[in-house]
Amino acid sequence: MAVLSPLPSLQDLNLTFHQTTLVFPSKETEKRSIFLSNSDHFFNENVRTAHFFKANPDYSPENVAARLKNALEKVLVPYDFIAGRLKMNHKVGRLELDCNVAGAGFVVASTDASLDEIGDFIVHPNLGFRQLAVQKIDGLAGEVEQPIFVVQLTSFKCGGFAIGMSMNHILFDGMGAKLFVENLASQAFDDDKPLAVIPCKDRSLLAARSPPVVAFPHREFLDLNDLHASTPPPSNGNQTRLEYKIFKLSAAQILQLKSRAKNSDNPAARISSFAVMAALVWQCKAFSDNKDRAKDKVSTLVHIINIRERVDPPLPMSYSANAVLPMGVSATHDELENGPFGKLVEMITEGAKEMTDEYAKSAIDWLEGRRGVPHGDYIVISWMRLGFDRVEYPWGKAMYSCPLVYERREISLIFPDAMDGGVGAMVALPAEQMERFEARFRKFFE
């Protein structure tokens, strides 16, 4: 088991910026406004990722930068909304994507650090990685002018490099982002290759029904318009200093957890690596919250579920927007601390099955006219099946792809370690809570 240092190395990569510019579609695109579904609206925040590549003698950083910029220009034709901006349509009171060709961001940088100095990627939630995906372009005044998507190439002194991406989550969910990256990579080759996947951009496929039909209470959301809400909205941790750790389990330990979670009444039931890691994280998070926990206090875990295949008719797998919704499961602290581990895993597994077509459409209808955000004691987000490291670029596949440090204590990212088949969970908590979280995590394997 790897429980990692809260003091990551290389918090400052000392980058030198060589190019910071806007990039525009290589062909003329139609100026228009795009409807945003309710499942797009509650993801109005920036997310950043980094994709690391070993040195390739056939592709210098200068060559990669030129290819990447050219590929971005080409892919902005089918993905013209990425070069647009968010705007409020005051007539209907909704955000829209304004396809105004204002441009996507493109940044080229370098550092004197080497990939070897960074160390084992999956064992350091390195705060310095945030510099690999800048969010703003110099010289642009105000948030309205800033791009909602920025690509950054950073070369290391060893010849390796990283491609960082910073985007507003309204553009894509994880699967949509993976499809975009596949298309970006396809356009970086010499030959005139077609897109890897034709994106489906029709966000009206997830429009609310008229009139809305809300058939479930949807406690997984917090209505920010409700002035009487008894629970405050989740904090981003800015007022409390957070520690960051990655808790990694080997493939053998994941198998151990699955064996522990097996139901004697249904021993053949499939148990996912995500479910066992999410259950363990939930248990440790509940334990970390308060030394004097009331046994009957209820804790809620929210996980984000892909609904492409759960709605009727199913959405195309190439749906390039946000086709995800939260689903919550609850247990008392006594159940979390003293109940069977397998019961928690079963709750998470069975809870996901409740995301049916009717439930998903009811959730979208519930959000109509509300400023709803996913809300629970803990939110787990899975990177288990995205497969960014399987994308083929001219210079090869990424040696490692990762989300950058998520500065919100109520969110944990769960992702695979492609190097050894293990699973990692990135956790952000204040120091005292992190100490209790880690103690519980260690005790679980004693």
Q: Count other Cβ atoms within 10 Å, centred on residue 337.
A: 14
Examine the residue annotation and report whether 243 is marked as an active-site residue of this protein. Answer: no
Tokens representing 247? 């808790």
List the Cα angle 313/318/323 in 5-degree steps: 65
Q: What share of the chain is helix, strand, coil (3-state, %, to 5)?
A: 30, 25, 45
Of the residues 169, 218, 303, 333, which is catalytic? 169
Nearest Cα residue to 425 out of 412, 437, 435, 434: 412
Query: What gap in Å lies between CA 44 and CA 94, rounded to an integer?
Result: 12
List the Cα angle 414/124/179 in 5-degree steps: 45
Of the residues 117, 337, 392, 407, which is catalytic? 392
List the Cα angle 47/203/198 in 5-degree steps: 80
Taking each helix axis as running N to C, give the angle between helix 251-261 and helix 341-353, from 0 to 180 degrees, rounded to the nearest 10.
Answer: 90
Q: Dihedral of CA 236/221/413/286: which sign? A: positive
3-state secondary structure of 232: coil
Tokens representing 344? 């928690």
Examine the residue annotation and report whether 169 is marked as an active-site residue of this protein. Answer: yes
Contact 221, 207 (CB under 8 A): no
Q: Alpha helix (H) ranges present in 340-421?
A: 341-353, 357-367
Amino acid at position 198, single letter = I
Residue whose token pair is 């525009």 = 24
Query: What gap in Å lies between CA 140 and CA 241, rounded to an integer?
Result: 30
Contact 287, 436 (CB under 8 A): yes
What amino acid positions are annotated as catalytic residues?
169, 392
